[in-house]
Structure 1
Protein backbone atom coordinates (compact mmCIF):
# COMPACT_ATOMS: atom_id res chain seq x y z
CA UNK A 1 0.00 0.00 0.00
CA UNK A 2 1.45 3.36 -1.00
CA UNK A 3 0.53 5.92 1.64
CA UNK A 4 2.41 9.20 1.73
CA UNK A 5 1.02 10.49 5.03
CA UNK A 6 0.09 8.68 8.24
CA UNK A 7 -3.37 9.17 9.78
CA UNK A 8 -2.71 9.24 13.55
CA UNK A 9 -6.40 8.84 14.40
CA UNK A 10 -6.95 5.70 12.31
CA UNK A 11 -6.44 3.23 15.18
CA UNK A 12 -8.77 5.20 17.44
CA UNK A 13 -11.48 5.43 14.78
CA UNK A 14 -11.08 1.79 13.65
CA UNK A 15 -10.61 0.04 16.98
CA UNK A 16 -9.22 -3.47 16.79
CA UNK A 17 -10.82 -6.17 18.86
CA UNK A 18 -8.72 -7.00 21.91
CA UNK A 19 -7.21 -10.48 21.72
CA UNK A 20 -6.67 -11.73 25.25
CA UNK A 21 -4.43 -14.64 24.27
CA UNK A 22 -2.44 -13.89 21.11
CA UNK A 23 -1.08 -16.89 19.25
CA UNK A 24 2.02 -18.24 20.94
CA UNK A 25 1.47 -16.43 24.24
CA UNK A 26 1.00 -18.77 27.18
CA UNK A 27 0.23 -16.18 29.86
CA UNK A 28 -2.38 -13.52 29.39
CA UNK A 29 -0.98 -10.00 29.33
CA UNK A 30 -3.61 -9.09 31.91
CA UNK A 31 -2.44 -11.87 34.25
CA UNK A 32 1.04 -10.36 34.58
CA UNK A 33 1.58 -8.05 37.53
CA UNK A 34 2.56 -4.43 36.73
CA UNK A 35 6.29 -4.25 36.12
CA UNK A 36 6.51 -7.95 35.22
CA UNK A 37 5.52 -7.57 31.56
CA UNK A 38 7.46 -6.20 28.61
CA UNK A 39 7.75 -2.79 30.27
CA UNK A 40 9.91 -4.26 33.05
CA UNK A 41 10.42 -2.89 36.54
CA UNK A 42 12.10 0.35 35.46
CA UNK A 43 9.53 1.00 32.75
CA UNK A 44 6.72 0.67 35.28
CA UNK A 45 8.59 2.90 37.73
CA UNK A 46 8.90 5.54 35.02
CA UNK A 47 5.24 5.28 34.04
CA UNK A 48 4.18 5.88 37.65
CA UNK A 49 6.11 9.17 37.69
CA UNK A 50 4.23 10.68 34.75
CA UNK A 51 1.82 13.43 35.69
CA UNK A 52 0.04 15.50 33.05
CA UNK A 53 -0.96 18.94 34.22
CA UNK A 54 -3.19 21.03 32.00
CA UNK A 55 -1.87 24.58 32.24
CA UNK A 56 -3.85 25.96 29.32
CA UNK A 57 -7.50 26.40 28.48
CA UNK A 58 -7.07 23.95 25.60
CA UNK A 59 -7.36 20.25 26.35
CA UNK A 60 -4.15 18.25 26.37
CA UNK A 61 -3.66 15.98 23.37
CA UNK A 62 -1.36 12.98 23.41
CA UNK A 63 0.33 11.50 20.34
CA UNK A 64 1.65 8.05 21.25
CA UNK A 65 4.65 6.95 19.20
CA UNK A 66 6.42 3.63 19.29
CA UNK A 67 9.60 2.68 17.47
CA UNK A 68 9.41 -0.71 15.77
CA UNK A 69 10.19 -2.78 12.69
CA UNK A 70 8.17 -5.23 10.61
CA UNK A 71 9.16 -8.38 12.51
CA UNK A 72 7.69 -6.87 15.71
CA UNK A 73 4.31 -5.86 14.33
CA UNK A 74 2.71 -8.46 16.64
CA UNK A 75 3.57 -6.13 19.52
CA UNK A 76 2.27 -3.14 17.58
CA UNK A 77 -1.04 -4.96 17.15
CA UNK A 78 -1.22 -5.53 20.92
CA UNK A 79 -0.59 -1.82 21.55
CA UNK A 80 -3.19 -0.83 18.92
CA UNK A 81 -5.72 -3.16 20.56
CA UNK A 82 -5.13 -1.72 24.03
CA UNK A 83 -3.69 1.66 25.01
CA UNK A 84 -3.16 2.88 21.43
CA UNK A 85 -6.90 3.46 21.15
CA UNK A 86 -6.82 5.82 24.14
CA UNK A 87 -4.28 8.14 22.54
CA UNK A 88 -5.48 11.13 20.54
CA UNK A 89 -3.08 9.93 17.86
CA UNK A 90 -1.02 6.77 17.48
CA UNK A 91 2.04 6.19 15.30
CA UNK A 92 4.11 3.03 15.11
CA UNK A 93 7.22 4.20 13.27
CA UNK A 94 8.33 1.18 11.28
CA UNK A 95 10.04 0.02 8.11
CA UNK A 96 6.72 -1.30 6.77
CA UNK A 97 3.29 0.33 6.55
CA UNK A 98 0.32 -1.59 7.98
CA UNK A 99 -2.49 0.91 8.27
CA UNK A 100 -4.85 -1.23 10.36
CA UNK A 101 -2.38 -1.34 13.27
CA UNK A 102 -1.03 2.20 12.90
CA UNK A 103 2.37 1.16 11.52
CA UNK A 104 3.90 3.58 9.05
CA UNK A 105 7.13 3.32 7.10
CA UNK A 106 9.33 6.29 7.92
CA UNK A 107 12.43 6.16 5.71
CA UNK A 108 15.77 7.01 7.26
CA UNK A 109 19.42 7.14 6.28
CA UNK A 110 21.33 3.88 6.49
CA UNK A 111 20.25 0.35 7.18
CA UNK A 112 17.48 -0.97 9.43
CA UNK A 113 19.61 -2.12 12.36
CA UNK A 114 20.19 -1.55 16.04
CA UNK A 115 23.46 0.22 15.29
CA UNK A 116 21.67 2.75 13.09
CA UNK A 117 18.89 3.52 15.56
CA UNK A 118 19.80 7.20 15.87
CA UNK A 119 19.06 7.86 12.19
CA UNK A 120 15.63 6.29 12.52
CA UNK A 121 14.86 8.29 15.68
CA UNK A 122 15.92 11.50 13.92
CA UNK A 123 13.61 10.68 11.02
CA UNK A 124 10.71 9.92 13.38
CA UNK A 125 11.03 13.27 15.16
CA UNK A 126 11.42 15.09 11.85
CA UNK A 127 8.23 13.43 10.60
CA UNK A 128 6.36 14.37 13.79
CA UNK A 129 7.63 17.96 13.54
CA UNK A 130 6.59 18.24 9.90
CA UNK A 131 3.12 16.72 10.28
CA UNK A 132 1.82 17.15 13.84
CA UNK A 133 2.60 20.66 15.08
Structure 2
Protein backbone atom coordinates (compact mmCIF):
# COMPACT_ATOMS: atom_id res chain seq x y z
CA UNK A 1 0.00 0.00 0.00
CA UNK A 2 2.86 2.39 0.75
CA UNK A 3 4.78 1.58 -2.41
CA UNK A 4 2.70 3.59 -4.88
CA UNK A 5 4.96 3.10 -7.91
CA UNK A 6 5.55 -0.65 -7.31
CA UNK A 7 9.34 -0.37 -7.27
CA UNK A 8 9.47 -2.54 -4.12
CA UNK A 9 10.77 0.25 -1.91
CA UNK A 10 9.30 3.23 -0.08
CA UNK A 11 10.55 6.71 -0.92
CA UNK A 12 10.41 9.79 1.28
CA UNK A 13 7.49 11.14 -0.77
CA UNK A 14 5.56 7.85 -0.46
CA UNK A 15 6.14 7.83 3.31
CA UNK A 16 5.13 11.48 3.56
CA UNK A 17 1.96 10.84 1.53
CA UNK A 18 0.97 7.89 3.73
CA UNK A 19 1.55 9.83 6.95
CA UNK A 20 -0.45 12.77 5.60
CA UNK A 21 -3.34 10.51 4.58
CA UNK A 22 -3.45 9.23 8.16
CA UNK A 23 -3.65 12.73 9.59
CA UNK A 24 -0.01 13.20 10.56
CA UNK A 25 1.15 16.79 10.94
CA UNK A 26 4.84 15.90 10.54
CA UNK A 27 6.93 18.38 8.61
CA UNK A 28 8.98 17.30 5.60
CA UNK A 29 12.10 17.57 7.75
CA UNK A 30 10.62 15.29 10.41
CA UNK A 31 9.65 12.73 7.76
CA UNK A 32 13.18 12.84 6.32
CA UNK A 33 14.66 12.26 9.79
CA UNK A 34 12.25 9.36 10.31
CA UNK A 35 13.31 7.95 6.94
CA UNK A 36 17.00 8.21 7.91
CA UNK A 37 16.31 6.19 11.07
CA UNK A 38 14.54 3.41 9.18
CA UNK A 39 16.81 3.37 6.09
CA UNK A 40 19.59 1.14 7.42
CA UNK A 41 21.67 0.96 4.24
CA UNK A 42 21.45 4.70 3.50
CA UNK A 43 20.17 4.34 -0.06
CA UNK A 44 17.33 6.82 0.53
CA UNK A 45 14.58 4.18 0.44
CA UNK A 46 12.95 1.72 2.81
CA UNK A 47 13.12 -1.81 1.46
CA UNK A 48 11.13 -4.79 2.75
CA UNK A 49 13.80 -5.87 5.25
CA UNK A 50 14.16 -2.36 6.66
CA UNK A 51 10.39 -2.03 6.91
CA UNK A 52 10.11 -5.40 8.65
CA UNK A 53 12.97 -4.58 11.03
CA UNK A 54 11.39 -1.24 11.91
CA UNK A 55 7.95 -2.79 12.34
CA UNK A 56 9.33 -5.53 14.59
CA UNK A 57 11.36 -3.06 16.67
CA UNK A 58 8.28 -0.88 17.09
CA UNK A 59 6.12 -3.86 18.09
CA UNK A 60 8.66 -5.12 20.63
CA UNK A 61 9.34 -1.66 22.05
CA UNK A 62 5.63 -1.08 22.44
CA UNK A 63 5.13 -4.59 23.82
CA UNK A 64 2.70 -5.43 21.07
CA UNK A 65 2.67 -9.12 20.31
CA UNK A 66 -0.61 -8.31 18.54
CA UNK A 67 1.40 -6.64 15.76
CA UNK A 68 3.43 -9.81 15.28
CA UNK A 69 0.32 -11.97 15.46
CA UNK A 70 -1.21 -9.88 12.68
CA UNK A 71 1.90 -10.38 10.54
CA UNK A 72 1.95 -14.12 11.37
CA UNK A 73 -1.73 -14.43 10.46
CA UNK A 74 -1.07 -13.02 6.99
CA UNK A 75 1.07 -16.07 6.23
CA UNK A 76 -1.05 -18.61 8.13
CA UNK A 77 -3.60 -19.02 5.36
CA UNK A 78 -5.44 -22.05 6.76
CA UNK A 79 -5.47 -20.56 10.29
CA UNK A 80 -4.05 -23.73 11.87
CA UNK A 81 -1.43 -21.82 13.87
CA UNK A 82 1.43 -22.88 11.61
CA UNK A 83 3.07 -21.44 8.52
CA UNK A 84 3.85 -24.20 6.05
CA UNK A 85 6.34 -23.93 3.19
CA UNK A 86 3.37 -23.94 0.80
CA UNK A 87 1.69 -21.01 2.59
CA UNK A 88 4.96 -19.09 2.60
CA UNK A 89 5.39 -19.80 -1.12
CA UNK A 90 1.89 -18.56 -1.94
CA UNK A 91 2.24 -15.31 0.04
CA UNK A 92 5.76 -14.49 -1.12
CA UNK A 93 4.74 -14.99 -4.73
CA UNK A 94 1.69 -12.76 -4.22
CA UNK A 95 4.10 -10.13 -2.84
CA UNK A 96 6.15 -10.43 -6.02
CA UNK A 97 9.02 -12.43 -4.52
CA UNK A 98 10.17 -14.94 -7.09
CA UNK A 99 11.12 -17.96 -5.00
CA UNK A 100 10.67 -21.65 -5.55
CA UNK A 101 8.86 -24.04 -3.26
CA UNK A 102 12.29 -25.47 -2.33
CA UNK A 103 13.45 -21.97 -1.33
CA UNK A 104 10.43 -21.70 0.97
CA UNK A 105 11.13 -25.13 2.46
CA UNK A 106 14.68 -23.97 3.25
CA UNK A 107 13.41 -20.73 4.81
CA UNK A 108 11.00 -22.64 7.02
CA UNK A 109 13.62 -25.19 8.04
CA UNK A 110 15.99 -22.36 9.01
CA UNK A 111 13.60 -21.14 11.72
CA UNK A 112 11.79 -24.38 12.55
CA UNK A 113 13.09 -25.36 15.99
CA UNK A 114 10.75 -28.27 16.76
CA UNK A 115 11.35 -30.13 13.45
CA UNK A 116 7.68 -30.27 12.48
CA UNK A 117 8.44 -28.68 9.06
CA UNK A 118 6.26 -25.66 9.85
CA UNK A 119 6.74 -22.36 11.66
CA UNK A 120 4.66 -21.69 14.78
CA UNK A 121 4.18 -18.24 16.29
CA UNK A 122 7.08 -18.50 18.75
CA UNK A 123 9.47 -19.55 15.97
CA UNK A 124 8.15 -16.71 13.81
CA UNK A 125 8.63 -14.23 16.66
CA UNK A 126 12.23 -15.37 17.23
CA UNK A 127 12.98 -15.18 13.49
CA UNK A 128 11.76 -11.58 13.43
CA UNK A 129 14.22 -10.72 16.21
CA UNK A 130 17.21 -11.61 14.02
The structure richer in strand per residue is: 1
Structure having the larger proportion of residues in helix: 2
- Structure ranking higher on relative contact order (CA contacts 8 Å, 6+ apart): 1
TM-score by length of 1: 0.30
